[in-house]
Amino acid sequence: MKFKLYKISIIILMISFLLNPDFSIAEKYKLSRFVSPEICGDCHSDIYNQWENSMHNLSQKDPIYLKLSEFILKGLTEKDEIAEAESCVKCHVPIGVVTGYPKKLSDDKSKIPHIAEEGIQCDYCHSAIGAEKKYNNDLKLDPGYGEDDPGIKRGPYNDSESDYHETGFSEFHTNSKICGTCHNVKHVVFNTDLETTYEEWEKGPYNSDNPKNRITCQGCHMYQKPGIPSTGSTKRPENKGYASDDGPVRDHVFTHYFTGASSYVHEKFGDKTKASMAEERLKNAASVSINTEQIKKGKLFITITNIGAGHFLPTGVTDIRQMWLNVTISNDKQKTFYTSGKPDLNGYLPDGTIIYNTVFGDGNGKPVVKIAKAREILKDKRIPPLGSVIETLATPIFKSEKLTINVKLLYRTAPQKLLDLVSGKDKIKLPIITMAEIEEKI
pLDDT one-digit tens code per residue, 205-214: 999 999 999 9
Do 209 and 356 lie in a common domain?
Answer: no
pLDDT category of residue 401 using cuts at 50, 70 and 90: confident
pLDDT of residue 24: 39
Select from 279, 313, 334 the last residue of a domain: 279
Q: pTM for the whole thing?
A: 0.92
| 90 close to 187: Cβ distance less than 8 angstroms | no
Each residue's pLDDT tens digit, 22-62 = 433 444 799 999 999 999 999 999 999 999 999 999 999 99
Q: Are residue 430 and residue 396 in the same domain, yes or no?
A: yes
pLDDT for residue 332: 79
Instruction: Check residue 74 and give its pLDDT.
Output: 98
Q: Residue 177: which of 226, 125, 223, 229 has the closest Cα?
A: 125
From residue 231, alpha-carbon distances to 225, 275, 299 in Å are 11, 16, 33
Q: What tens digit of pLDDT does each residue of 383-396 get?
A: 999 999 999 999 98
Total count of domains within the chain: 2
Whole-number Cα distances in Å, 388 to 306, 363, 380, 433, 438: 6, 30, 14, 20, 16
With 0-12 / 13-18 / 19 or more C-beta atoms within 10 angstroms meaning exposed / middle / buried, residue 274 is: buried
Of 245, 261, 242, 263, whose CA–CA distance to 253 is shortest?
242
Closest CA to 166 of 154, 182, 183: 154
Q: Do residues 433 and 355 share a domain?
A: yes
Residue 1 resides in a domain: no
Q: Are 143 and 33 in contact (CB under 8 A)?
A: yes
pLDDT band at 73 (very low <50, low <70, confident <90, very high): very high
Are the beta carbons of 239 and 219 closer than 8 angstroms? no
Indicate if 35 and 163 belong to the same structural domain.
Answer: yes
Are 167 and 103 found together in one domain?
Answer: yes
CA distance 235 to 228: 8
What are the helix (H) ranges across 155-206?
Answer: 177-183, 197-202
E strands, 133-243, where?
139-141, 152-155, 166-169, 184-186, 193-196, 241-242
Question: Has residue 7 been placed in a domain?
Answer: no
Clarify whether residues 307 and 179 are in a common domain.
Answer: no
Residue 2 domain-assigned?
no
Of the residues 246, 279, 312, the one at which a domain ends: 279
Average pLDDT, the chain: 94
Predicted pLDDT of residue 334: 79
Residues 166 and 259 in one domain: yes
Residue 342 structural domain: 285-441
Would you say residue 76 lies in a domain? Answer: yes
Give yes or no: residues 242 and 316 share one domain.
no
Q: How much is the pLDDT for 135?
A: 96
What pLDDT shows up at residue 13?
44
Dist CA 344 CA 420 (whole Å): 14
Average the pLDDT over 315-338 and give the result: 93
d(CA 223, CA 45): 17
Residue 5 has pLDDT above 50, yes or no: no
* Same domain (yes/no): 248, 365: no
| One domain for residues 121 and 84 | yes
Q: CA-to-CA distance for 222 and 153, rounded, in angstroms?
A: 18
SS (H, E, C) 285-319: CEEEEEECCCHHHCEEEEEEEECCCCCCECCCCCC
Indicate if 27 and 53 belong to the same structural domain. Answer: yes
* Same structural domain, 254 and 290: no
> 360: pLDDT confidence band, cut at 50, 70 and 90?
very high
pLDDT digit string (tens) for 404-433? 999 999 999 999 999 999 999 999 999 999
Q: Are 264 and 57 in contact (CB under 8 A)?
A: no
Note the pLDDT tens digit of each residue in 268-316: 999 999 999 999 999 999 999 999 999 888 999 999 999 999 999 999 9
pLDDT at 19 over 90: no
Q: Which of 218, 251, 279 is the last residue of a domain?
A: 279
